[in-house]
Amino acid sequence: MVATSPRSFTATISRSAPRAAAALSERTRTEQVTQPAITQLVTRLERDGLVERRPDPSDGRAVLVHITEAGRQIGRSRHEDRTRHLAPLLSRLTAEQRQAIADALPALARLAELGRGRRLS
Across the range 34-55, mean pLDDT stands at 90
Which residue type is seen at 87?
A: A
Angle (nearest 5°) at CA 79 between 74 and 85: 125
Phi, psi of 71, deg, nearest 5: -65, -40
The answer, yes or no, to whether residue 30 has pLDDT greater than 70, is no
Element (H, E) at 74: helix 69-91
Q: Angle 6-57-36 (CA atoms, 0-180°, nearest 5)?
A: 35
This prediction's pTM: 0.61
Flag whether pLDDT at 10 surpasses 80.
Answer: no
CA 73-47-78 angle, 5° bins: 25
Determine the 3-state secondary structure of 69 from DSSP.
helix
The residue among 17 and 66 whose pLDDT is bigger is: 66
Q: At what angle do helices 69-91 and 6-16 cross, to 10 degrees?
A: 90
